[in-house]
Structure 1
Amino acid sequence: MKNRRSLLLSAGALLIASGVPSFAQQDMTRDEYIGAVSARYVDKSPEMTYSKRYALREAATRISRVIPEATLIERRNHAVISIPEKTFFEFPEVSLRPDAVAVLTEVARILHDRKSIGLEVMAHYHSDGRASHAMVESGRRAVAIQAALLSRKVPERRVLASGLGEAWPTDANTTIQGRERNRRIDFVIRNEF
C-alpha cells in the first residue's frame, strides 16, 4: 500500500497525470469536467453491455440510499453521487465522524458485492483563502475517505482519491452557507478502471 505522502501527492497531481488542463485553462461545466477526468477510466466501447450498465446503476442507487443527503446524477458510462462534506467531516477537521465510518462500511460492502464497480472520491473545498490550501485540504479529505475504504478491504485499484480544491464551486463563497455547500465530496462510480 502506498504511504500517506505518496497518496497526497498522487491526489494533488491527478489532473496533470490525466492530461486534463488546469482549471484556469478550462471553460466547461462541472459535469463536463467530471466526464473529462473520468474519461481515462470509462469503458472505451461505444456501449456498455446491459449487465455492466445494470451493475453500475444498481451500485450507485444503493450507495446513494445509504447517504440521505446525497444527490445522484446518472450518466451514460458513470454515475456521480454528490454529498455535503458535513456528512463525513466536522469542519475544519479531517478525521472522519463516527457516523461516517458506518456509512463508509456500508459503501465498502456494496463495493464488495459488485466487484466490477470502481469509485473515485473527488473532494471539493471553498475558496476562502489560498488556492493551494484548498487543494491540500480537499486532498486530505479525499485520502481520508479512500483510506477508510481501503481499511475495509476494498482493493486499492478500485478506489481513487482526488482533491480538487476550490475549482468547481456550486455556490458563491461570499456567505457561510455558500462556503459550506462548496465543501462537498463526489463519488464517481463507474465500471472498474
Structure 2
Amino acid sequence: MSKQVVNFSLEGRFLGFEFEEYKPKRLLIATSEGECTLKIAKSLRYSFGLRLIPGDWLQILGEKKIDRKTGEVKLKAEQVIPATISQEQTSIPVAAKSAKSKASILVCQKSDCMKRGGKQLCQAMQAALSDRGLTDEVSIKGTGCLKHCKAGPNIVMMPDKTRYSKVEANQIPELIDKHFTPEEAVKEGDFLVAAK
C-alpha cells in the first residue's frame, strides 16, 4: 500500500478559508509549526456559518494521508472544535494582518441564493473591492444558509453584522462604499454615506 492514513489532532488560530467556485474547500490555520491548509470534509463545509472569525482558536480532528512514494501529506478536517487557550498557543506566530480582525462580507452559498444571483454578487464584490484598493482589508466569505431563502441573495457585512436581502450586483459598489470606504473618502451625493 503506497498511502498511509492516520488520525491527527492539532490546535491553531483560524486564518480564513480557501474557496473554489465560491464554496469553502479548505481551512487556513496558523499552528506552532507555521501555517497549514486542511481540506474540509464535505459534511462540514456549510456547518461553519457565521461562527468562525479570523483569530479564533480551534482544535481540529481529522485524517492525515501520507503518500509513501512522494512524501506528500494531505490533511482533511473531519471535526472542528473551538479550543481553549493553552500555553502552546501563546507562541504561535501569526502575521500582523491576521492578528487584526479583517472586515468581511458573508455571502450565502446555498442554492436559493445562488439561483437568485449570488455568483454575480461575488463577482461584483471582487471588482468593487479591487477598484477601491480594499482587497487586503475586506474578504468575501461564503456561508451556509442565512435564512430568508425566498428573499435571496442574502449577505451580511461584518463586523457590524448588517444584513441585506434581495441584493443585486449593481447595488454592490454603493454597499461597499457605505460599509468599508473611509468616511473622508466618500463624497456625499455620489453614493450613500454610512452614518457614524
For the criterion TM > 0.5, the same-fold answer is no
Q: Report 1 or 2 for greater relative contact order, CA contacts < 8 Å, sequence distance ≥ 6.
A: 1
Greater fraction helix: 1
Which protein shows a greater Rg?
2
Which TM-score tier does this pair reach, normalised by the shorter chain?
0.3 to 0.5
Tell me the TM-score normalized by structure 1: 0.33
Greater fraction strand: 2
